[in-house]
């Protein structure tokens, strides 16, 4: 039975068929859900297509399975690994911006007397860039080798979103409808491609070992864990679990960072004063055209996301403030969904078990009671000094289930933004249409065309 209290419009109930859903738009109540360590709010796993998209890896696992996956995956994101990954990220970003420079040089070669500039569709460029980065750093392969996985997952993402808010009819997932048959085929393609990547790694094991990337660490845990009483089940991942973890990181490791970069470029182009501020800071700390290194990024005093949450950061540099404000206004993941394992009190409402709980990040991030009357405005200085603003940022979630890859995403974003600002100025073309749209992640509906021109060096 529902017990209604003083909901005040921020915690309310709505329904999908026979399933109740509690929308938690109150920051304090949202923190109660996300900070829970008892397993009272497990991940929502009712949509079969979402499970195929993300797999039963770290993002969707619950309870003991989640603890086991975290023990295996967490070492891939420690500070030493991140330092090594930074060089790979920089190489991938340099390859992208070098291609842009080549296009500008081609325009210059035409000798038409106009200022050299080209228009580039950035959202597509960033999809390829982040796919290349996650392929190299997590799986030791290139974007070309993982392209089939990314293309299949992208199509599966749009199918999943089209069914995300459907009433879930038991057993309907097994009916051979046209959509279901397509989902099954995409799932088979992804699994087959991932198994080929895994088999290639296993074949090279005797010469090169399993490797130090995410895939290598998982294979090491799966195949080389010591036989000790009671320990083996706790330490190992099965081959199916490794495949699911690969799916998780192919999608989550690429998709969210791609859109963070896209929205960062949009805000830089619409706020040229901040574009100049960040360029000055990058040139001062990283040099005019040098490839950014991990040590250079540390000089920019990157947000301390190595801890359990991004909220621990207190910093003044402009790059940090800018990216935090980008995450607030355009969080790549616009909502979080959980499930109640047993009856629980949320604010002034008693919620029964087996109830969906939805936390609308986009709504909370623009709540005037949390952020002030300028909540809808771009104002990065609100994060200067940390404090209350940082504690209200939910872009990477928070608590024990905070995104394990948040450090990775922030470093990759900083490397790419720095490489771009060292070389180019950005401006939106007149035909740009601003239409953020939610397809599990927040993306520009019509892409992000951008006019780029060379930075004139003194």
What CATH number is associated with residue 324? 1.10.630.10
Collect all residues with Cβ–Cβ distance below 8 Å to 97 and sequence separation of at least 6.
419, 420, 423, 424
Nearest to 120 by CA among 450, 458, 456, 454: 450
Q: Which of 157-161, 217-221, 287-291, 454-458 has the lowest mean pLDDT?
A: 454-458
In this prediction, residue 129 carries a pLDDT of 95
Residue 372 placed within a domain? yes
Give me the percent of the chain exceeding a pLDDT of 90: 43
Residue 2 placed within a domain? no
Q: How far is CA 278 from the centre of its chain?
A: 23
Sheet holding 11-16, edge to edge: 11-16, 19-24, 356-360, 335-339
> Phi/psi zone of residue 157: left (φ > 0), alpha (ψ -120 to 50 degrees), beta?
alpha
At 335, give phi and psi (nearest 5°). -155, 160
Angle CA(352)–CA(356)–CA(362) in degrees, nearest 5? 130
Q: Which of 273-287, 302-316, 328-342, 377-391 has the lowest mean pLDDT?
A: 302-316
The DSSP string of 161-208 is: HHHTTS---TTGGGS--HHHHHHHHHHHHHHHHHHHHHHHHHHTHHHH
Give the chain's domain count. 1
Residue 121 placed within a domain? yes
Output the CA torsion sign for 404, 409, 415, 421. negative
- Using pLDDT thresholds of 50, 70 and 90, give the confidence band for residue 111: low
Q: How far is CA 125 from the centre of its chain?
A: 16
Q: CA 215 to CA 141: how far, in whole Å? A: 11
Residue-wise pLDDT for 77-100, tens only, equals 888 888 888 999 999 999 999 999
In this prediction, residue 203 carries a pLDDT of 85
Residue 111 placed within a domain? yes
Selected residue with higher pLDDT from 137 and 304: 137
Q: Which of 22-26, 117-121, 200-204, 379-383 has the lowest mean pLDDT?
A: 200-204
Residue 5 placed within a domain? no
Residue 403 marked ligand-binding: yes
In this prediction, residue 2 carries a pLDDT of 43
Q: Tell me if residue 155 falls in helix, strand or coil.
A: helix
Residue-range definition of the domain harbouring residue 227: 11-454
Say what the pTM is.
0.86
Residue 1 placed within a domain? no
Residue 391 placed within a domain? yes
Residue 51 placed within a domain? yes
In this prediction, residue 447 carries a pLDDT of 96
In this prediction, residue 333 carries a pLDDT of 93
């Amino acid at each position: 039975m529902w017990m209604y209290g003083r909901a005040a419009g921020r915690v309310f109930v709505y329904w999908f068929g026979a399933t109740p859903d509690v929308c938690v738009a109150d920051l304090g109540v949202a923190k109660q859900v996300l900070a829970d360590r008892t397993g009272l709010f497990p991940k929502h796993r009712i949509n079969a297509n979402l499970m195929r998209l993300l797999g039963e890896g770290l993002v969707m696992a619950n309870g003991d399975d989640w603890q086991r996956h975290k023990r295996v995956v967490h070492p891939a994101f420690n500070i030493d690994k991140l330092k090594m990954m930074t060089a790979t990220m920089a190489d991938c970003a340099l390859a992208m911006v070098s291609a842009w420079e080549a296009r500008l040089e081609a325009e210059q070669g035409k000798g038409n007397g106009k200022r050299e500039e080209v228009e580039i569709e950035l959202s597509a460029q960033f999809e390829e860039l982040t796919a290349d980065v996650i392929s190299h750093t997590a799986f030791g392969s290139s974007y070309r080798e993982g392209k089939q996985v990314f293309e299949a997952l992208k199509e599966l993402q749009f199918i999943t979103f089209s069914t995300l808010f459907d009433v879930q009819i038991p057993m309907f997932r097994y009916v051979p409808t046209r959509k279901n048959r397509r989902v099954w085929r995409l799932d088979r393609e992804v699994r087959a491609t991932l198994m080929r990547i895994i088999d290639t790694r296993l074949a090279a094991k005797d010469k090169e070992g399993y490797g130090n990337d995410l895939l290598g660490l998982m294979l090491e845990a799966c195949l080389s864990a010591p036989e000790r009483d009671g320990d083996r089940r706790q330490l190992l991942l099965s081959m199916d679990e490794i495949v699911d973890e690969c799916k998780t990181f192919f999608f989550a490791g690429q998709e969210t960072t791609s859109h963070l970069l896209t929205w960062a470029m949009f805000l830089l182009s619409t706020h040229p004063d901040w574009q100049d501020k960040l360029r000055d800071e990058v040139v001062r700390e990283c040099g005019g055209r040098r490839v950014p290194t991990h040590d250079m990024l540390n000089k920019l005093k990157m947000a301390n996301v190595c801890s359990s949450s991004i909220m621990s950061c207190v910093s003044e540099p402009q790059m940090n403030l800018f990216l935090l404000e980008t995450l607030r206004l355009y969080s790549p993941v616009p909502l979080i969904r959980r499930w109640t394992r047993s009856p629980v009190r949320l604010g002034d409402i008693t919620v029964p078990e087996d109830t969906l709980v939805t936390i609308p990040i986009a709504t909370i991030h623009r709540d005037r009671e949390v952020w002030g009357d300028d909540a809808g405005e771009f104002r990065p200085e609100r994060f200067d000094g940390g404090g209350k603003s940082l504690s209200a940022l939910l872009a990477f979630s928070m608590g024990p289930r905070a995104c394990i890859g948040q450090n990775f995403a922030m470093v990759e974003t900083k490397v790419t933004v720095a490489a771009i600002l060292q070389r180019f100025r950005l401006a939106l073309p007149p035909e740009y249409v601003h239409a953020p749209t939610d397809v599990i992640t927040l993306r520009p509906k019509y892409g992000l065309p951008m006019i780029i021109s060379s930075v004139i060096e003194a």
